[in-house]
Chains A and B, each alone.
Chain A
């Protein structure tokens, strides 16, 4: 099993450009998450999806959109990138039954200039 995979690993954007971060899991999990990690601030939840076809906002959703394409894939889109979105982005999924252990992808390091 590959677990949780993310593409790309690195990306540099200019302000105003758009891009989509891809995430896929092969553990047949229903729940998937997008976090961002910034120095000194820990991980913050951007959006999550409790099941295929549903998405909900997390703590910091502004400037982002998500799509739960199917059970395996959960993408994060930046429509008009801003320097404040420079961060490391992590995708995660968790088991559908107690104790809901979370599994993380390797991350995407995004720089917006």
Chain B
């Protein structure tokens, strides 16, 4: 059974810092990995999706990498801003591309 973990559970940084969020999964047979952002009391917003054949994806200040063989992904946020404060979740889907399994999330606070 696929299990996804995220470290750290919570992170507090001053504005302007670069930071890395980690995601690990137990079964490397994945189709893709997706990073989401969730603001308090809101739904999930997709940030980046990496297919299993890709190593990384970039969008603005965000960069996500994938090492399928070791079961790891990282989300790098450059020059963090208070508006980045949210919970970040990663999710993986199995080989047939459905039924995402989610990690518990990392709660990020960026202090002004």
Do these two chains interact? Answer: yes
- A residues at B contact (CB < 8 Å): 4, 31, 33, 35, 40-45, 48, 50, 58, 90, 92, 94, 98-107, 109
CB nearest to B36 among chain A residues: A104
Contact A102 B99 (CB under 8 A): no
7 A-B residue contacts at CB 8 Å?
A33-B99, A40-B104, A42-B103, A42-B104, A43-B91, A45-B101, A101-B49
Give the CA-CA distance A99 to B44 in the complex, in Å: 18
| Tally of contact residues, B, Cβ under 8 A | 25
7 other A-B residue contacts (CB within 8 Å) besides A33-B100, A43-B102: A31-B98, A43-B89, A48-B99, A98-B51, A100-B97, A100-B98, A101-B49
Contact A99 B51 (CB under 8 A): yes
**Nearest CB of B to A14, in Å:** 24
- B residues at A contact (CB < 8 Å): 4, 31-32, 34, 36, 41-46, 49, 51, 89, 91, 93, 97-105
Residues of B contacting A: mostly: strand
**B residues less than 8 Å from A50 (CB atoms):** 98
Q: Given A100-B32, A102-B100, check contact A42 B46 (CB 8 Å).
A: no
**B residues less than 8 Å from A35 (CB atoms):** 102
CB nearest to A103 among chain B residues: B46
Contact A104 B44 (CB under 8 A): yes
Which listed residue (B44, B97, B101, B104) contacts A90, Cβ 8 A? B44
Contact B46 A106 (CB under 8 A): no
Contact B51 A102 (CB under 8 A): no
Contact A106 B42 (CB under 8 A): yes
